[in-house]
Amino acid sequence: MTCIVGYVEQDTMWMGSDSLVRYGWDDCLTAAQPKVFRKGDMLIGGTGLVRSWQILQYVFEPPKHPPQMGVMKYLCGPFTDALIACLKEKHHAEIKDNAIRGINFLLAYRGRLFRVASDFQMLECRDKWAAIGSGEVYALAVMDAVADTDLLDGRDKVLRALKTAAKYTRSVGGPFHVKKLKWSRPSRPTR
Per domain, the residue ranges of the chain are 3-170
pLDDT at residue number 61:
96
pTM: 0.90
Q: How many CA atoms lie within 13 A of 55 on its CB side?
A: 22
Q: Which residues contact 10 (CB under 8 A, 6 or more apart)?
A: none
Amino acid 187: pLDDT = 55
Both ends of the chain: CA-CA distance in Å? 33
* pLDDT value for 98: 63
- Helix 154-168 vs helix 136-146: crossing angle, to nearest 10: 140
Query: What pLDDT is stored for residue 135 in this prediction?
Result: 95
Number of CB atoms found within 10 A of residue 94's CB: 11
Per-residue pLDDT tens for 12-43? 999 999 998 877 667 778 888 889 999 999 99
Residue 59: its H or E element: none
What's residue 37's pLDDT?
95
Alpha-carbon span 19 to 2, nearest angstrom: 7
pLDDT at position 190 is 53
- Which ranges of the chain have pLDDT less than 70? 24-25, 97-99, 186-191
| Residue 186 pLDDT | 61
Q: Please give the Cα distance from 67 to 35 (Å, whole number).
A: 30
In CATH, 3-170 is 3.40.630.30: no
Nearest Cα neighbor of 53 from 100, 82, 90 is 90
pLDDT for 112 equals 96
pLDDT at 115: 95
